[in-house]
């Protein structure tokens, strides 16, 4: 299925792109993240499992087990701190 991915803040800067359309076999947000990490390079570093990365599906916060659907909009971004 194809999904639209948006990257924000430091993740966007590390990847050098704001968004992309991706064909994926993943069925969850966690699976999609793992596919992107498997690309290696900047994706592996920016989205690494040891890093704090937030995910959203259709502008609603999600977790590794959040199911994907065709045409979904997915966002990856670092945690935001206020002060």
Higher pLDDT among residues 83 and 74, named by residue: 74
What pLDDT does 80 receive?
Answer: 76
Residue 81 has pLDDT above 60, yes or no: no
Residue 83 has pLDDT above 60, yes or no: no
pLDDT in tens, 18-76: 999 999 999 999 999 999 999 999 999 999 999 999 999 999 999 999 999 999 999 99
Residue 77 has pLDDT above 60, yes or no: yes
**CB-neighbour burial class of residue 22 (10 A; exposed 0-12, middle 13-18, buried 19+):** middle
Angle at 77 between CA 64 and CA 25, to 5 degrees: 45
pTM: 0.94
Domains in the chain (CATH in brackets) are 2-77 (3.10.20.30)
């Amino acid at each position: 299925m194809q999904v639209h991915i948006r990257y924000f803040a430091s993740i966007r800067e590390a990847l050098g792109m704001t968004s992309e359309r991706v064909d994926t076999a993943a069925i969850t947000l966690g699976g999609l993240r793992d596919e992107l990490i498997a690309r290696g390079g900047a994706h592996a570093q920016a989205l690494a499992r040891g890093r704090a990365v937030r995910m959203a599906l259709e502008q609603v916060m999600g977790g590794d087990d959040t199911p994907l659907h065709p045409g979904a909009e997915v966002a990856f971004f670092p945690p935001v701190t206020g002060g």
